[in-house]
Structure formats: structure tokens, C-alpha cells
Amino acid sequence: MGSRGDAPKLRLETLLALGLDQRTAENALVNSKVTANLAAVIAEAGISGCDKSVGNLLYSVATKYPTNALVHRPVLINYILSTKIKNPAQLDAALSFLTNIGPDSLDVKKFEEACGVGVVVSIEEIKSTVAEVLKENMEAIMEQRYHINVGNLCGQVRKRHPWGDAKATKEEIDKRLAEILGPKTEADNIKPMKKKKEKPAKVEEKKVAATTAAPPSEEELNPYTIFPQPEENFKVHTEIFFSNGDIWRAHNTKEILEKHLKATGGKVMTRFPPEPNGYLHIGHAKAMFIDFGLAKERNGHCYLRFDDTNPEAEKKEYIDHIQEIVSWMGWEPYKVTYTSDYFQDLYDHAVELIRKGLAYVDHQTAEEIKEYREKKMNSPWRDRPIEESLKLFEDMRRGLIAEGAATLRMKQDMQNENKNMSDLIAYRIKFTPHPHAGDKWCIYPSYDYAHCMVDSIENVTHSLCTLEFDIRRPSYYWVLAALGLYQPYVWEYSRLNISNTVMSKRKLNRLVTEKWVDGWDDPRLLTLAGLRRRGVSSTAINSFIRGIGITRSDNSLIRVDRLEYHIREELNKTAPRTMVVLRPLKVVITNLEEGKVLDLDGKMWPDAPAEDASSYYKVPFSRTVYIEKTDFRLKDSKDYYGLAPGKSALLRYAFPIKCTDVIYGDNPDDIVEIRAEYDPSKTSKPKGVLHWVAEPAPGVEPLKLEVRLFEKLFKSENPAELEDWLGDLNPHSKEVIKGAYAVPSLASAVLGDKFQFERLGYFAVDTDSTPEKLVFNRTVTLRDSYGKAGPK
């Protein structure tokens, strides 16, 4: 189960007698983990007091010692008490050495070499090395004078004499600098200006263009460098503190780790474990990027495991969707598995827990369990005989006990401060057939019981999950330590939170089932199906995920603009240009003869070479053209570049036109037609450039499209925080334009095609589209509100 130890009460006077300062001693006493370790170190040292240098080293042992090597801690303490290890540098080297060997036998000679035992660095050697270092840095010293980084100079000396006296080194450097530079001048006393740190904002600030980009760090180039190798999984994962003072230090023994490595061949094994109770959203894309990405980067394997412990919530529709969307995101599972594949193993382990006295059948109701947890009281059934629990659990399995009349609970620690150690439920009775396992079972394991065990059974090396599971880590390792099973390395990362949307499955389910949106693949949702329908590619999503990183620290709300930046960046390179007019205004070119149609060339790409015909599309120019209603106004102004009475504008890829007349409808605000003349010689040079569409032949209406424009689904940046979050829905989040006109070449567009409609944005063919009725979704606008520089 890991190491155990007692945590006797420590008094302030005891710690002060070790030479610790008052503040350090007081802080230690309020931290139960530090208190327990300090008490053990003091007991092993067998002292009641010591000088400050020894006391500080012992305090470091208590706070930093690798718990996988506890067997060697008394040896290290003796080295400190005998002053063979007498400074922090030696201690750090010793701790590093012991971390690497763990519980294996200690080679004293190698240990002493590693931490400089017996090495004496004389004052003369320090002086000589300081002189060398200062000479090497003389140019910087003369330029920066007393603003030189002394810590850096000390570090250069320490590299050559790692066991030298750090205080003597600093004093010698200060003395020599004073000799070289002389007395401080007024300029030397002025503190250099430091860059003011910006306060972290709840909502991520927009990026500002940088003149020079810093070179990317190793972690930015490869975000997976933060994860250890499988063979390093011998260190203590977590310390489980019990209310009675006991501590379980969960870690793999040498034998368990060797058995695991033999089974996996030393490969990285991860898992992506969604519940099949809904469609995946962009938060799952982050999980996939981490789970599948780590396995791919390390040449390992990643399971797609369906966490199907709740038979009432799962649907085959969701299972099929998840498998398909994982593939679309670019990931290939090693195997597709289900938690239900291991129901028999889980049951057998539950029986083992009962036999060990670590689980019991309970008859409390859900309300009673909640009340007893709040009061930190044991269930009246907690200490029932083992044989009784075994029989009752068998009765539960055979369907002889009514649903809700009994549960199997793990005997953890009801008085623990961590509620996730309050005798969590391992099994419930549910008389519901299972979509995958059929009707074999009427008892089903809980997530807290099953998840860790299936990770262990599948030999997962890295069990990666979001930060809200951090408080469940003790329970995760309690189960595995109690059963003596292999323990994966657990690491939690920050949840992905994006502005102006919701991503909880419960809220998404309400939006869908109550028909606030048009299904799980509504393009306004940040479900992966919705993003795909909107026209977003998996590569753009993965680029966005890589850009935000996979750290634990950043729980800020990521602006949706940042996602749009990555979408726009990709489409700018991959989407051919074309012309569509959303709200057409008729323009009659009066000086172009009736029936004449000119075939002009439109560029599919901004830098299309003149000799490459495939980079162009045909644009008919005829007597009747259509421009956007917003590109015409009756009153002209200096800052307006559209068309106005008497004013000219250039039709993209065609000719300048000048407005000569305006035809009104039944009222003065109803403009039905513009009359204009074109300049076939192109001698006029208007500033404004307009997109347009013409009749492909006299009297023939241009190609008609339905275009759907999407805005943010919610008005607030963080609607999930609102009590009435549904009341925050944006009533203008979707606009359908049924009468848009397009150039003829768009007639052949099919599902999967994406275009830049010039001056309007990027658009993709929708699933509702047919050859008879083309439908396009706006994926993203041309405007980049995230910032010109964009993310790194």
C-alpha cells in the first residue's frame, strides 16, 4: 500500500531549537504534510537541538526528500549531523542521487562522489577562480558596473567549484568588484527600470504586435517534454493523508514497475476516455491533443476507451460519432476499448477489497450518505463482518436486492478533509441492460472505482485529465495501492474555457434537446461536429490547441477570437477566392450594348501567376450587374470608397463604373436600381474596389445561394457563470440570407469545399446544400480582432 508513518505533534519551541527562524517554524506547523515529515526527520536524527546550518539542511530533507527512497533517509541525516554534507549544494546533489536509485541498495562510494563528501575547496582556490571569471566578464563589468548580475558571476564560479563555500564566493566577488570599479557613482545607485508585470486578467487580453518575436522555447516546439518516461515511474505519485495521522505514499515497487515495462516494452501508453453520453466539443480536442499527441510523439500507443459505466446515459449514436470524430481530428487509436470490457475484473477486485476489510455493503440512502459525509460520521454498516458484505455483494450481483437498497462503498476515511476520500461508492444496483455488455450485469461500477483500475489493467503510463480531477488523485491511488496494482503517472492540465459559449455537456444537452440550437452540429456550437459543419478543419483546431499549450497553470477564459485567428490563418492559405453578393442591388451599365457579355478572369489566389490558367476563374461582365446594397449611398464623403451619385468605383477584375442615375421605388428610401457608365479604357483610377456579380446572359438571373451568417451564440463572455445563462443567448447569432448571388463557377461547389468570398469572409458548403439549392455557412470573417501579430 506504500509507506506508512505517524505524525506526532510538534511544538514551536522544538523547531526554533533547530535554528529555524520564527516565520519558517510557524508556517511549518500549519502544514500537516511538512509537520509529519519534520517529526519523522527529528525522530530519525535523535536530536532536540542543533546549530542553524544543520537545522536548515534537516528542514530541507523534510520538505524535499524523495519518498521513493525513504529507506536511505537515516543515512543522509547522519551525513548532515557529521557535517560530511554541510551546504545546500551538496544536499541537492544527494537528493538527486537518492531520487534516481529509489529503494535500491546504496553504493556509498558513488553517493559520496556525487555529493562532494570530503572535497575541500580552499579560499585560495575560490579567489583564483573568481579572478578568472571576472577577467572573462570584464567587458560586461565595465559597461554595466554595479548593475552587473552578481548571481550570474557566482553561478560561473559554482560551475567550477560546486562544493565551494557560496558565502565566501559572494564576498570575494563583491570585494574584487569594488577594487575594479571603485566607489559607487550616482548613476550606480539608480535602480534599472524593470518591466512592469501585467496583472493576470480573467479574460485573456488581445495580443499586440511585437517588433521581434522571441525564439520559441523547447516546450513550445515540443509541448510533451514535460512528461516523464515510463521507466521513471517509480517515484511517489502522491501522499495520502489520513485523519488518524497515517500517510500512504503511493508508488510503484521495483517489481511492479518491471512487470509493467515488460508488458508494454517500455512504450508510452495513454488513453482518451470519453463518456458516450453526448457529442465531443473543443475541450475534448485538447484532451485528444494531449493523449494521442503524447503517444505519437513518443512512438507509443493511445487507447480510445469508452467510459461506459452508466448504462442509462449511453447511446450508440454517441459511440459512432466519437469514433468518427476522433479519426477526423487526425488521431488513430491503438485499440477501441470499453470500461465494460473489464466488468468481471472490476467485480473480482471489489471482492478482494471486501476480503481485505477495505469495502463494505451499505444501506444508507443518497440523502443519508450526503448528511453523514457533511458530519464526517461513519455509516452504521461500515464495520459489518466481512463475510456479511461478501454475501450481500453477491446478492447484489444476482439481482436479489432492490435498486437503491444497497451500494458497495470503499472503506477510506470518513473524517478526511478531502471529501473524495469519504468512503466513495464503488457499485450501485441498476436494473438496466447495458448497450455494450447486454443484460449480464445489474450492478455497475462508479467512475471513481473503475477509472483508475482500468488505467492500471491497460498498463496506461500517463493518465492525463483536467484540473478538476486533482482532488480525486488521493482516491485514485488509494484504490490501486489498496490492491497492490500498478500505478500510472497522473497529471492534470487546465480545462479549456472559451468566451461566449458553454461547454458543459449538461448545458449543451439542454441547448440541443430544448431546440435553442439546430442539433449537436449547429455551427454556432463549439462541438467538433458544429465546428466541422461551420467549415473549420481539424488542423486549425489542433494548431489552436498547440498554441494555448497544455500547462496546469492557465485557467483563464480564452477569447474565441484566438480560435478564429488560427482558422483564418489556415483558410487564407487554402481557400480559393470568388465573388458573392449577399444583398444585391441592381446596376445597369447604360453604355454597354444590349446582349454583350465579356468573359473576364478572376484570381483564385492573390499571387496567381499570369501563365497558370488553373489559378483563375471566369467572371461574366454584362449590362446588368449586382453590387452590395451597403456599397451604395446617396451622400458621399471623403472617407467613403463605395458608389454614390456622380462618383466612380472599380469593379473587381473588371472596369471602373460611375453612377449616373438612381431609380427609386414607391418611396424615397426604396432604391431599386442604379444606372451607371463603365470606363472600358480604365483611364479613371477610383480608390474604391467593389465585389460584384453579373447576369451570365441577358435576362438570366445569376446563380442563387442561401448563405448563413453566424455570430457569437451568447452575448456575455462567460455565460456559464450566469444563473439565467439561457437568457444570455444572442438573438442575432444566426442570419439566413436566401437571395445571395454568386459567379457561375460556384455552381459545382460540393460539401467540403471552402472559399473566400471577397470582402465578406470565409465560407463553406453546408450539409443541407444540394446541386439545386446551394447553401453556404460563414466560417469566419476577414476581420482579425485578435491582433495583427496573432499568437506565437
Active site residues: 275, 495, 505
Burial class (CB in 10 A: 0-12, 13-18, 19+), 33: middle
Answer whether 427's CB lies under 8 Å from 443's CB.
yes
Quick one: cell of 743? 459567379
The phi, psi pair for 27, rounded to 5°, reads -65, -35
C-alpha torsion sign, points 515, 516, 522, 525: negative
**What does residue 204 show for φ and ψ, rounded to 5 degrees?**
-55, 130
Alpha carbon distance 39, 23 (integer Å)? 18
Of 414, 404, 398, which is closest to residue 363 (Cα–Cα)? Answer: 404
Structure-block grid coordinates of residue 225: 517534454
Name every residue whose Cβ is closer than 8 Å to that of residue 581 and which is 6 or more positions away in sequence.
626, 627, 628, 691, 692, 693, 740, 741, 742
Cell of 663: 431609380
Close Cβ partners of 579 (under 8 Å, ≥ 6 residues apart): 602, 619, 652, 691, 692, 693, 742, 743, 757, 758
Q: Name residue 656's beta-bridge partners.
A: 650
Q: Looking at the chain, how many residues does it have?
A: 792
Unique residue bearing C-alpha cell 452508466: 310
Q: Decide: helix, strand or coil at residue 598.
A: strand
Structure-block grid coordinates of residue 294: 503524447
Number of C-beta neighbours around residue 672 at 10 A: 11
CB-based burial label for 430 (10 Å; 0-12, 13-18, 19+)? middle
Q: Which element (helix H / strand E) includes 386?
A: helix 386-397
What is each CA distance from 687 to 183, 296, 353, 556, 761, in whole angstroms?
Answer: 66, 52, 80, 43, 21
User: CA distances (Å), 176 to each of 123, 140, 682, in order?
Assistant: 14, 15, 78
Burial of 737 (0-12, 13-18, 19+ CB in 10 A): middle
Q: What angle do CA 638, 644, 647 make, to 5 degrees?
A: 75
Closest-CA residue to 619 (of 679, 681, 692): 692
Q: How crowded is the C-beta side of 788, counted as CA atoms within 13 Å?
A: 5
To which residue does cell 475534448 refer? 284
Q: Which amino acid is it at 64? A: K
Q: What residue has cell string 443567448?
A: 729
Beta bridge partners of 179: none
* Cα–Cα distance for residue pair 217/208, rounded to 1 Å: 20
C-alpha cell at 446: 462508479
Nearest Cα neighbor of 758 from 574, 537, 576, 534 is 576
Residue type, 379: S
Whole-angstrom CA distances from 437 to 154, 339, 341 are: 66, 10, 8
Extract the C-alpha cell encoding 315: 447511446
Q: Rounded CA gap, 614 and 294, in Å? A: 40
**Residues ≥6 apart with Cβ < 8 Å to 435:** 276, 308, 311, 314, 315, 316, 319
Neighbours of 6 (CB within 10 A): 12
* Rounded Cα–Cα distance for residues 217 and 289 (Å): 19
Kind and range of the H or E element at 154?
helix 150-160
